[in-house]
Amino acid sequence: AQSVTQPDIHITVSEGASLELRCNYSYGATPYLFWYVQSPGQGLQLLLKYFSGDTLVQGIKGFEAEFKRSQSSFNLRKPSVHWSDAAEYFCAVGLSNQGGKLIFGQGTELSVKP
């Protein structure tokens, strides 16, 4: 069965430090991969997506993610975190044969220390 795992429930980083949020998926075919961010009291905002092609994808707000097929991973990175990045981050896999449906990971809550 398809699944998404975000191993870290909560991460705290200092402002200005680098960030990496982990995401592993289980899916038999080529996945469509997404990262969304949810700020407190807000809906979901798309950060970036991977469908095909270059495995390093750039997103909004200075985020990037790298698709590694051999590791079934799609980790999210940012070189320098800002206090406004504090939020919940969700990794999701889209099923290529069931257009539009997403399976979400449990989310990683990011806290940023001044």
**The one among 5, 44, 62, 73 contacting another protein by CB under 8 A:** 44
Nearest distance in Å: CB 100, another protein: 3
Residue 74 interacting with another protein (CB under 8 A): no
Residue 58 interacting with another protein (CB under 8 A): no
User: Which residues, 6+ apart, have CB-to-CB distance to 53 below 8 Å?
Assistant: none
Residue span binding another protein (CB under 8 A) among the ranges 12-20, 22-30, 34-42, 53-61: 34-42
